């Protein structure tokens, strides 16, 4: 069904979005995702049937103003505990592969 219509997202766009999302896909996965994402995007296209002129976007269903608190120093996680789950740590730091050549 989707082949007859204009593709919402092409394979090269899938590759670009994957890079933005920091994901890698095999060729087979790219094909499958292109197909599935097209189906989903075509489905959500039905939103264009709704007239939303002048309608404010809602990002939270319960209207809350900023939640303020006193600016006080409180106990926080100590460095040791913060590093407990690190795949790699050295001293008080998270260790990662090199960033700069």
Partner 1 sequence: MELNQLTIHELHALIKKREVSSTQIIESVFRQIDAVEKDVHAYVNLMKEYAFAEAARADKCIKEGNIKPLTGIPIALKDILCTKGILTTCGSRILHNYIPPYDATVVEKLREAGAVFTGKVNMDEFAMGSSTETSYFGITRNPWDLERIPGGSSGGSAAAVAADECIASLGSDTGGSIRQPAALCGIVGMKPTYGRVSRFGLIAFASSLDQIGPFTKDVEDCALMMNVIAGYDPLDSTSVPLDVPDYTEFLTRGVDGWTVGIPKEYFIEGIDPEVMEAMKRTITVFERIGVKCVEISLPHTEYCLAVYYIIAPAEASSNLARYDGVKYGFRAQEARDLLEMYKKTRSAGFGAEVKRRIMIGTYALSSGYYDAYYKKASQVRGLVKRDFEEAFTRCDVILTPTSPTPAFTIGEKMDDPLQMYLSDIFTISANLAGIPGISVPCGFTRGGLPIGAQFLAGHFEEGKLIQMASAYEKNANLEKRRPNLSLWSTNRS
In angstroms, what is the minimal distance from the CB of 4 to partner 1?
Answer: 18
In angstroms, what is the minimal distance from the CB of 3 to partner 1?
Answer: 16
3-state secondary structure the chain: CHHHCCCCCCHHHHHHHHHHCCCCCCHHHHHHHHHHHHHHHHHHHHHHHCCCCCCCCCCCCCCCCCCCCCCCCCCCCCHHHHHCCCCCEECCEECCCCCCC
Binding letters toward partner 1, positions 62-101, x by CB under 8 A: x-x--x-x-------x---xx-xxxxx-----x-xxxx--
39 binds partner 1 (CB under 8 A): yes
Q: Which of 27, 28, 61, 71 binds partner 1 (CB under 8 A)?
A: 61
């Amino acid at each position: 069904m989707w082949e007859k219509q204009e593709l919402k997202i092409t394979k090269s766009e899938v590759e670009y979005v994957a890079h933005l999302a920091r994901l890698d896909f095999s060729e087979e996965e790219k094909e499958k995702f292109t197909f599935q994402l097209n189906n989903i995007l075509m489905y959500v296209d039905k939103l264009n049937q709704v007239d939303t002129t002048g309608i404010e976007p809602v990002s939270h269903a319960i209207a809350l103003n900023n939640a303020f608190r006193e600016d006080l120093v409180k106990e926080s996680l100590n460095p040791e505990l913060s590093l407990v789950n690190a795949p790699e740590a050295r001293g008080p730091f998270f260790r990662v592969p090199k960033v700069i050549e």
